[in-house]
Amino acid sequence: MLLRYLTIAIVSAGALTSTGVLAQDVKVGLVLPLTGGLGPVGKQVQAAAKLYMDKNGATVAGKKIELIVKDDGGVPDNSKRLAQELIVNDKVAVIGSAITPGAMAIGPLSTQSKTANVVMVSGTSGVINPNNPYMVRTSFTLGQQSGIIAQWAAKNGAKKVVIIQSDWAPGAEATAVFTDAFTKAGGQIAETIKVPLANPDFAPFLQRARDLNPDTLFVFVPAGQAGTFAKQFAERGLDKAGIKLIGPGDIVDDNDLPGMGDAMLGVVTAGIYSTAHNSQANKEYVAAFKKANNNLRPNFISVGGYDGMHVIYEALKKTGGKTDGEALINAMKGMKWESPRGPISIDPETRDIVQNIYVGKVEKVQGELYSIEFATYDAVKDPLKMKK
């Protein structure tokens, strides 16, 4: 009797292999900005990764998953140092990296050490490249969204656009892809205005944009800044000036949307995810995420963390628990599944994410602002990789 209880106890801890030997842990190290201006980004990823593990259990292919989360404050020198410690001291099997500068700093380390590196946040095309073969992306690229919103705007009467762009790599990419597609469709870019990434004050840039008298404003600000942007947009009266606001999904970040005010009503974006995405998988995801996080909405950043854990779990199942970088990355290539954001896959050739892009409009539903998706572009690849 006692033996039976003991056996049950050990098996339910999930750490026994079929040979009865205690399985080694598989360590997964996430390097995220949990503090600083992009702190909301890391918090969404951390919450989503934890939710995935709570839902799917902490044991995969006979191995117990140990999640180690480090805060780099959004400073790439920190990202590099922390990733080095995770790889050398903790011997993590997988690194999860976040935001473009951090992912770029960690890339060469994962290559040298042949460690699988799942980029859970980065919107810059070049982060996933042939020189760093152990990396895959589960987030998005700004190019995926910006070309589509350019086509939509041109078809819906936009002729003269001012661009306001956060001044770093993903912003440059949003601008480049939008400008290319919009001018090819016959539109004009009156001016591109760059706003510093750290502690941005949008007011003078919004005034400049208003003075140029465009019909439409295309804006990219990263997750965590949409709330500040919306407040200053309304304060400057741009909503009342008849200037339409469009952008990639970042400007209707669900993390901020509930407090963004009615000036955002009618804003149209091309994005990868909305809390209001209409699927059973998403309804369950939103309910579980809110329950575990004090009613916080999961946003477009969170799904990169949730799906990042999914590729790690599924790759470990495929390799039977083998953790060398090559085996894991090979297992991730071509993987297809249903995310809370809809159907997604990892392109086997580029290791980049392929996903639906949804055109959505901000509406009020039961007293709260949501981006309501009204058109879908299926299985969109990173346009900058397709050109090469």
Give the residues lining the site for ligand PHB (CB under 6 A). 41, 99-100, 121-124, 170, 222-223, 250
Nearer to ligand PHB, 102 or 340 (CB): 102
* DSSP structure string for 105-127: HHHHHHHHTT-EEEEEE---GGG
Contact 122, 33 (CB under 8 A): no
Nearer to ligand PHB, 44 or 59 (CB): 44
Nearer to ligand PHB, 103 or 315 (CB): 103
What residues have CB less than 8 Å from 154, skipping those under 6 apart? 181, 182, 185, 186, 187
Local structure of 243: helix, strand or coil:
coil
Query: Locate tokens 């990355």: which residue?
Result: 329
Local structure of 373: helix, strand or coil:
strand
Nearer to ligand PHB, 100 or 282 (CB): 100
Query: In this structure, what token pair is assigned to residue 141?
Result: 């690229």
CB of 168 to ligand PHB, least distance (A): 8
CB of 142 to ligand PHB, least distance (A): 7
**CA-based nearest residue to 117, from 354, 332, 345:** 332
CB of 88 to ligand PHB, least distance (A): 25
CB of 121 to ligand PHB, least distance (A): 5
CB of 340 to ligand PHB, least distance (A): 17
Query: In this structure, what token pair is assigned to residue 364?
Result: 């009020």
Nearer to ligand PHB, 223 or 263 (CB): 223
DSSP-derived pairing of the beta strands 59-60 and 63-71: antiparallel
Nearer to ligand PHB, 98 or 154 (CB): 98
Nearer to ligand PHB, 205 or 313 (CB): 205
DSSP-derived pairing of the beta strands 135-137 and 94-98: unpaired
CB of 280 to ligand PHB, least distance (A): 27
DSSP-derived pairing of the beta strands 368-380 and 353-365: antiparallel
CB of 253 to ligand PHB, least distance (A): 7
**CA-based nearest residue to 243, from 332, 324, 158, 310:** 158
Nearer to ligand PHB, 223 or 246 (CB): 223
CB atoms near residue 42 (< 10 Å): 30
Report the distance separating Cα 331 and Cα 279, nearest Å. 27
CB of 169 to ligand PHB, least distance (A): 7
Produce one character per residue of 83-105: b if its CB has 16 or more CB atoms within 10 Å, e if not. beebbeeeebbbbbbbbbbbbbb
Nearer to ligand PHB, 179 or 255 (CB): 255
CB atoms near residue 275 (< 10 Å): 22
What separation in angstroms does the CA of 118 have from each of 122, 135, 157, 332?
10, 6, 40, 10
Nearer to ligand PHB, 140 or 313 (CB): 140
Burial class (CB in 10 A: 0-12, 13-18, 19+), 333: middle
